[in-house]
């Protein structure tokens, strides 16, 4: 018997990167998985590959989240695991931050996350688990990430309050803070490939383990945190970053 047998899991942004790998892992561990995302074409393709249910729901559109909850309720009943993962990375230096960039990033990464929890909470079983996908950017002061980092810092703070409020229902709420992970997120910034490559090698040099994370690395941690093996863990944050958060003055 697998340790997530009988559990129902929803993964937002499950058609790509960390969400995709986590959906795969949760399914391997026995859960029934539903992925959501903003592009019907991508969601359907990923759902078919993974052999899971796919639902289109842009987290910027709260009525789309409502509809997703209804669809999940009708087909699966209540859920046990909510992986709040959908997010974007839109770097910009202070002085060049546009209102549109601010609203979109806050709207997807933070407001979208908050309302994903609000909307799914009525169908989340007591004893369930919520994982909020944050980032070590919440702490690093990395140039050009003031707004992205703030969306994630907000997520970490929100996680702590949610953990205390939902503890009465034995719902555990934790945050995962990855360092750099190889996913399509960077390509979606619109930065030219040469700049992206320079950015990637500079970042990799600062990681004590000298590599980017793999989406599978994050999936392993999420699968542990949502399982009963983590039944005394709530309100916590886990850095999973090859050691970059140590912030060494020199890298060996």
Ligand X SMILES: NC(=O)c1ccc[n+]([C@@H]2O[C@H](COP(=O)([O-])OP(=O)(O)OC[C@H]3O[C@@H](n4cnc5c(N)ncnc54)[C@H](OP(=O)(O)O)[C@@H]3O)[C@@H](O)[C@H]2O)c1
Task: Catalogue the active-site residues.
Answer: 148
Please list every residue from 206 through 245 that binds ligand X, using CB under 6 A.
none
17 is a contact residue toward ligand X (CB under 6 A): yes
Question: By CB under 6 A, is residue 10 in contact with ligand X?
Answer: no
Contact between 15 and ligand X by CB under 6 A: the answer reads yes
Count the site residues for ligand X by CB under 6 A.
Answer: 30
Q: What is the DSSP letter of 111?
A: I
Nearer to ligand X, 88 or 121 (CB): 88
Q: 96-125 mask for ligand X (x: CB under 6 A)?
A: ------------x---x-------------
Smaller CB distance to ligand X: residue 125 or 203?
203
x/- string (CB under 6 A) for ligand X, residues 151-190? Answer: ---------------------------x-xx-xxx--x--
SS3 34: strand
Residues 26, 9 contacting (CB under 8 angstroms) = yes
Q: Is 58 in the site for ligand X (CB under 6 A)?
A: yes
CA distance linking residue 112 with residue 106, whole number of Å: 8
Binding mask 72-101 for ligand X (x = CB under 6 A): -------------xxxxx------------
Both structure tokens of 70: 């209804």
Comparison of 43 and 123: residue with beta carbon closer to ligand X: 43
Q: Concatenate the DSSP letters of all residues of 71-110 into one string.
A: HHHHHH-SEEEEEE---------TT---HHHHHHHIIIII
Q: In what order do the strands lie in the sheet with 53-56?
A: 53-56, 32-37, 8-12, 79-84, 124-133, 172-178, 237-240
**Pairwise CA distance, residues 178 & 245, whole Å:** 10
- Based on the shown chain and the rule CB under 6 A, indicate whether residue 19 belongs to the binding site for ligand X: yes
What is the torsion angle, in degrees rounded to the nearest 10, for the CA atoms of residue 206, residue 209, residue 214 and residue 219? -110
Residue from 110, 36, 40 nearest 79 by CA? 36
Q: Closest separation between CB of residue 52 and ligand X, Å?
A: 13
Of 3 and 62, nearer to ligand X (C-beta) is 62
Phi-psi region of 242 (alpha: psi -120 to 50; beta: other; left: phi over 0): left
In whole angstroms, the minimum distance from the beta carbon of 64 to ligand X comes to: 8
The residue length of the chain stands at 252
CB of 140 to ligand X, least distance (A): 10
Residues forming contacts to ligand X in the complex (CB under 6 A) are: 12-13, 15-19, 37-39, 42, 58-60, 85-89, 108, 112, 133, 135, 178, 180-181, 183-185, 188
């Amino acid at each position: 018997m697998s340790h997530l047998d009988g559990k129902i899991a929803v993964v937002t942004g499950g058609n790509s990167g960390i969400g995709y790998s986590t959906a795969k892992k949760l399914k391997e561990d026995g859960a029934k998985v539903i992925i959501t995302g903003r592009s019907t074409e991508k969601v359907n393709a990923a759902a078919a590959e993974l052999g899971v249910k796919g639902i289109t729901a842009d987290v910027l559109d709260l009525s789309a989240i409502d509809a997703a909850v209804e669809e999940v309720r009708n087909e699966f009943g209540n859920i046990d695991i909510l992986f709040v993962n959908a997010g974007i990375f839109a770097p910009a230096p202070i002085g060049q931050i546009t209102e549109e960039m601010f609203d979109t990033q806050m709207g997807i990464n933070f407001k979208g996350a908050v309302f994903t929890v609000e909307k799914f909470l009525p169908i989340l079983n007591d004893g369930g688990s919520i994982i909020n996908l944050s980032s070590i950017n919440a702490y690093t002061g990395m140039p050009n990430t003031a707004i992205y980092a703030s969306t994630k810092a907000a997520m970490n703070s929100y996680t702590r309050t949610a953990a205390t409020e939902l503890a009465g229902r034995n719902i555990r709420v934790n945050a995962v803070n990855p360092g750099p992970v190889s996913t399509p997120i960077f390509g979606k910034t619109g930065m030219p490939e040469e700049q992206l490559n320079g950015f990637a090698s500079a970042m990799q040099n600062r990681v004590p383990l000298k590599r980017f994370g793999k989406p599978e690395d994050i999936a392993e941690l999420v699968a542990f945190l949502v399982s009963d093996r983590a039944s005394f863990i709530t309100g916590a944050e886990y850095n999973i970053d090859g050691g970059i958060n140590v912030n060494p003055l020199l890298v060996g």
